[in-house]
């Protein structure tokens, strides 16, 4: 009989194993079917959604918008490459291939991928002007962003709050603006940090080249005026415009959105005409032609020295993580701004951005992300689909193939004006008052992020902001809001029972506060015998430490024979509490608990 029992147990164990295997296979089968469905294809390759309904109106709108963005990105790309400490052509290398890739995988019609001011200054911070290191950072950033997107880790962006992003963006804008002073004034300098750069500027102020200063300031003023020109009511389109009015308003619109290219073209033409007695500091010779397609260098050669991949990554340090993180945050912030109320798929945007950087890395590019200024130009130009990137990328390819010999005449002062005019509007000063009005603790987070990024380092400042923000959240959790409502039985003033409402989640950090408050209420207001009802309406989750705290609290109440009940507790909370406390009593708000309270009468409350 014993052997038969053993055999029977083994048979039952085998059946359980088979059931688990079947269940696992069913789950795998369902997920495989879902992954291979046409809906999944449309979600992961968004071009399959809009391409079947693409028409000539879409084509015209995308071409106009794409070319307009192309005219904007060419001077910006050159300028941002110089910010990154790289030759000017690397900015254009970084601007075209991502436009093609985003067309297939991007979920926003407005976003344009390419070099940005913030990514450029971070690239300089970690590559130290090495094209090979910058290109390798583009590759690693692409891989990291792609992996995060594939594993649905887009929620990680939620850990960086808006005050942190606002402080970081504003500090980065001021840092970039300051870095362009030497280009505007026409002297050379290599100081790092905002304070050192201002000191350097005042130290070398006597070396100012007046031709560069005049050209730079003039370009800056013209760019600002053209930016504001389109906001004048007279030049805005209306449905009552005549054909001639539409024509001149379109001309004004193109003049405004193409202002960067126009200013740089005029400055370059002036510089080329005066080349025999060049008064300006110019870009200099630029390598002509398109970039060669090649795998990023995982070992870097500096002179006669070869640096292994591990050593390169060690030298880069936190930049391996900071660059993709900032790229994700910047791109997601832009997508949210131009979503027009639609939900943004953060994971899909990460996949698209990762593929863009990964693809760009094979064309000697530096790290890229979505550009706010060019995305605004794209949206205002009437882009219809992500296919506008084809026109943008094609124009950049044409410029690289044909125009690079003429780029050497571009004055650095004009490029400095382009950058300064772009970043000056990134200072989010308008957030200061609203943040203060909503919650003053967030104002502290904003200023810690801003000052840390401005006077320390951008990457350390954003980490410091996140840490302070998490500390603020923990402090708010550690000091829970607990409401006590005594329910009176009659005019004698003695409560029939007392309701305690913890308006927080229950974790190890606040359980002692909650437990102490409930216990004190039971002893003081409850006189050690009046029933206590804990309203769990606000509690959706609880950790082990909190459950143990509740277990000890219930034990204390039972020792002094004082009733305690838990009301409006969700199923998950009940399951967690009963795992440790079997003698816990749960009640519902709409149920009379006379039988539980005995002589006490339960009165509903709101």
Each residue of 311-325: pLDDT tens digit? 888 888 888 998 998
Q: Would 307 be classed as within a structural domain?
A: no
Q: Is the pLDDT of residue 294 over 80?
A: yes
Q: Would 503 be classed as within a structural domain?
A: yes
Same domain, 463 and 517: no
From residue 367, alpha-carbon distances to 85, 87, 122, 127, 204 in Å are 13, 15, 9, 11, 32
Q: Among 330, 396, 387, which Cα is nearest to 105's?
A: 387
Q: Is the pLDDT of residue 600 over 50?
A: no
Gap between the Cα atoms of 191 and 544, Å rounded: 53
Q: Is the pLDDT of residue 459 over 80?
A: no
Same domain, 339 and 446: no
Gap between the Cα atoms of 540 and 576, Å rounded: 11
| pLDDT tier, 11 (very low <50, low <70, confident <90, very high otherwise) | low
| pLDDT tier, 490 (very low <50, low <70, confident <90, very high otherwise) | low
Phi-psi region at 493: left, alpha or beta (left = phi > 0; alpha = psi -120 to 50): left
If you average pLDDT over residues 553-575, what whole number do you get? 88
% of the chain at pLDDT higher than 70: 89
Interior angle at CA 339, CA 338 and CA 345, nearest 5: 125
Q: Is the pLDDT of residue 31 over 90?
A: no
Q: Is the pLDDT of residue 535 over 70?
A: yes
Helix (H, G, I), strand (E, B) or coil at 385: coil
Q: Is the pLDDT of residue 20 over 80?
A: no
Same domain, 61 and 156: yes
Phi, psi of 107 (to 5 degrees): -105, -5
Eight-state DSSP code of residue 503:
-
Per-residue pLDDT at 12: 64
Residue 181, Cβ neighbours under 10 Å: how many? 20
Q: Would 492 be classed as within a structural domain?
A: yes
Phi, psi of 291 (to 5 degrees): -70, 150
Gap between the Cα atoms of 352 and 349, Å rounded: 5
Gap between the Cα atoms of 37 and 446, Å rounded: 44
Gap between the Cα atoms of 119 and 171, Å rounded: 13
Q: What is the mean pLDDT of the chain?
A: 84
| pLDDT tier, 7 (very low <50, low <70, confident <90, very high otherwise) | low
Q: What is the dihedral of CA 163, 164, 166, 168, to 10 degrees?
A: 160
Q: Is the pLDDT of residue 238 over 80?
A: no
- Residue ending a domain, choose from 404, 437, 470: 437
The number of CA neighbours under 13 Å toward the Cβ of 571 is 0
Partners of 203 in the β-ladder: none
Residue 162, Cβ neighbours under 10 Å: how many? 14
Q: What is the dihedral of CA 267, 270, 276, 277, to 10 degrees?
A: -70
| Residue that wins the pLDDT comparison between 12 and 310 | 310
- For the stretch 379-407, pLDDT in tens is 877 888 999 999 999 999 998 988 888 88
Same domain, 273 and 225: yes
Per-residue pLDDT at 5: 60
If you average pLDDT over residues 33-58, what whole number do you get? 76
% of the chain at pLDDT higher than 90: 23
Per-residue pLDDT at 396: 92
Per-residue pLDDT at 567: 87
Q: Would 348 be classed as within a structural domain?
A: yes
Q: For position 575, which CATH number holds?
A: 3.30.750.24
Q: How far is CA 413 from the centre of its chain?
A: 31
Q: Which run of H or E residues covers position 211?
A: helix 210-229
Same domain, 457 and 487: no
Per-residue pLDDT at 595: 46
Per-residue pLDDT at 251: 84
Same domain, 471 and 367: no
How many structural domains does the chain have? 3
Per-residue pLDDT at 592: 46
Q: Is the pLDDT of residue 358 over 90?
A: yes
Q: Is the pLDDT of residue 215 over 70?
A: yes
Give the burial class of 380: count Cβ atoms within 10 A of its Cβ; 0-12 exposed, 13-18 middle, 19 or more buried.
middle
Same domain, 343 and 407: yes
Give the burial class of 178: count Cβ atoms within 10 A of its Cβ; 0-12 exposed, 13-18 middle, 19 or more buried.
buried
Q: Would 35 be classed as within a structural domain?
A: no
Per-residue pLDDT at 604: 36
If you average pLDDT over residues 584-598, what whole number do you get? 61
Lowest mean pLDDT among 182-186, 251-255, 513-517: 251-255
Q: Is the pLDDT of residue 2 over 60?
A: no
Per-residue pLDDT at 603: 39
Per-residue pLDDT at 16: 67
Phi-psi region at 282: left, alpha or beta (left = phi > 0; alpha = psi -120 to 50): beta
Per-residue pLDDT at 366: 95
Lowest mean pLDDT among 40-54, 85-99, 504-518, 553-567: 40-54
Same domain, 91 and 133: yes
Residue 133, Cβ neighbours under 10 Å: how many? 24
Q: Would 420 be classed as within a structural domain?
A: yes
This prediction has a pTM of 0.76
Q: Is the pLDDT of residue 14 over 70?
A: no
Residue 551, Cβ neighbours under 10 Å: how many? 17
Same domain, 185 and 79: yes
Lowest mean pLDDT among 81-85, 236-240, 269-273, 412-416: 236-240
Domain limits at 509?
A: 482-597
Q: Is the pLDDT of residue 124 over 60?
A: yes
336-344: which pairs have CB atoms within 8 A and are 24 or more residues apart?
A: 337/372, 338/108, 338/110, 338/111, 338/375, 338/376, 338/379, 339/108, 344/107, 344/108
If you average pLDDT over residues 26-37, what whole number do you get? 60
Q: Which residues have C-beta within 8 Å of that of residue 512, sequence separation ≥ 6?
A: 549
| pLDDT tier, 270 (very low <50, low <70, confident <90, very high otherwise) | very high
Per-residue pLDDT at 13: 64
- For the stretch 437-449, pLDDT in tens is 998 899 999 999 9
Q: In the chain, what is the straight-line distance between the N-terminal and C-terminal CA atoms, in Å?
A: 64
Q: Is the pLDDT of residue 370 over 50?
A: yes
Same domain, 340 and 460: no
Same domain, 429 and 446: no
**What would the DSSP string read from start to end of 43-67?**
HHSTHHHHGGG--HHHHHHHHHHHH
Q: Would 7 be classed as within a structural domain?
A: no
Please, what's the b/e burial string for 91-103 (b: 16 or more CB within 10 A of its CB; e: otherwise)?
bbbbbbbbbbbbb
Give the burial class of 308: count Cβ atoms within 10 A of its Cβ; 0-12 exposed, 13-18 middle, 19 or more buried.
exposed
**What would the DSSP string read from start to end of 6-46?**
HHHHHHHHHHHHHHHHHHHHHHHHHHHHHHTSHHHHHHHST
Q: Is the pLDDT of residue 1 over 80?
A: no
Same domain, 473 and 519: no
Q: Which residues have C-beta within 8 Å of that of residue 273, sequence separation ≥ 6?
A: none
If you average pLDDT over residues 255-260, what whole number do you get? 82
If you average pLDDT over residues 459-475, what whole number do you get? 87
Q: Would 602 be classed as within a structural domain?
A: no
Gap between the Cα atoms of 240 and 566, Å rounded: 67
Per-residue pLDDT at 602: 39
- Residue ending a domain, choose from 451, 478, 505: 478
Which is it for the CA torsion 332, 335, 337, 339, positive or negative? negative
């Amino acid at each position: 009989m014993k052997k038969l029992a053993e055999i029977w147990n083994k048979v039952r164990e085998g059946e359980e194993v088979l059931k688990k295997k079947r269940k696992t296979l069913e789950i795998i089968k369902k997920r495989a079917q879902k992954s291979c469905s046409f809906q999944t294809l449309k979600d992961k390759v968004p071009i399959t959604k809009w391409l079947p309904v693409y028409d000539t109106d879409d084509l015209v709108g995308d071409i106009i918008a794409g070319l307009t963005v192309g005219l904007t990105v060419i001077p910006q790309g050159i300028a941002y490459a110089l910010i990154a400490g790289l030759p000017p052509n690397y900015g254009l290398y970084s601007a075209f291939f991502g436009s093609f890739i985003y067309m297939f995988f991007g979920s926003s019609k407005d976003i344009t991928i390419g070099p940005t001011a913030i990514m450029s200054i971070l690239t300089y911070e970690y590559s130290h002007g090495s094209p090979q290191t910058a290109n390798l950072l583009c590759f690693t950033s692409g891989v990291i962003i792609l992996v995060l997107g594939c594993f649905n880790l887009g929620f990680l962006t939620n850990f960086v709050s808006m005050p942190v992003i606002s402080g970081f963006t504003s500090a980065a804008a001021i840092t970039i603006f300051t870095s362009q002073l030497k280009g505007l004034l026409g002297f050379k300098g290599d100081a790092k940090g905002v304070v050192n750069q201002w000191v350097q500027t005042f130290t070398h102020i006597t070396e100012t080249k007046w031709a560069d200063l005049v050209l730079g300031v003039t370009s800056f003023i013209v760019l600002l005026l053209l930016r504001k020109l389109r906001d004048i009511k007279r030049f805005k389109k209306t449905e009552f415009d005549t054909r001639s009015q539409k024509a001149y308003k379109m001309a004004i619109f193109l003049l405004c959105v193409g202002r960067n290219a126009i200013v740089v073209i005029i400055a370059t033409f002036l510089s080329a005409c005066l080349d025999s007695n060049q008064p300006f500091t110019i870009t200099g010779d630029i390598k002509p032609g398109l970039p060669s397609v090649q795998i990023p260098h995982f070992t870097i050669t500096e002179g006669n020295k070869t640096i292994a991949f591990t050593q390169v990554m060690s030298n880069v340090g936190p930049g391996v993580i900071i660059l993709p993180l900032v790229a994700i945050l910047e791109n997601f912030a832009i997508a949210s701004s131009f979503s027009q109320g639609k939900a943004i798929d953060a994971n899909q945007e990460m996949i698209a951005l990762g593929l863009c950087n990964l693809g760009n890395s094979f064309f000697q590019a530096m790290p890229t992300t979505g550009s706010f200024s060019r995305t605004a130009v794209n949206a205002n130009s009437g882009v219809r689909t992500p296919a506008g990137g084809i026109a943008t990328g094609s124009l950049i390819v044409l410029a690289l193939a044909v125009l690079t010999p003429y780029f050497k005449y571009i004055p650095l002062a004009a490029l400095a004006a382009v950058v300064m005019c772009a970043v000056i509007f990134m200072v989010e000063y308008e957030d200061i008052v609203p943040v203060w009005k909503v919650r003053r603790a967030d104002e502290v987070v904003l200023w810690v992020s801003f000052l840390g990024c401005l006077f320390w380092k951008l990457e350390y400042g954003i980490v410091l902001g996140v840490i302070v923000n998490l500390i603020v959240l923990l402090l708010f959790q550690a000091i829970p809001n607990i409401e006590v409502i005594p329910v009176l039985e009659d005019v004698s003033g003695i409560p029939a029972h007392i309701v305690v409402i913890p308006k927080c989640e229950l974790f190890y950090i606040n359980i002692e506060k909650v437990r102490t408050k409930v216990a004190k209420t039971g002893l003081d207001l409850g006189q050690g015998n009046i029933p206590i009802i804990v309203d769990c309406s606000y509690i959706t989750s609880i950790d082990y430490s909190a459950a143990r705290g509740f277990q000890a609290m219930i034990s204390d109440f039972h020792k002094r024979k004082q009733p305690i009940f838990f009301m409006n507790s969700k199923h998950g909370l009940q399951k967690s509490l009963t795992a440790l406390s079997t003698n816990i009593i749960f009640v519902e708000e709409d149920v009379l608990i006379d039988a539980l309270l005995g002589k006490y009468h339960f009165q509903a409350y709101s």
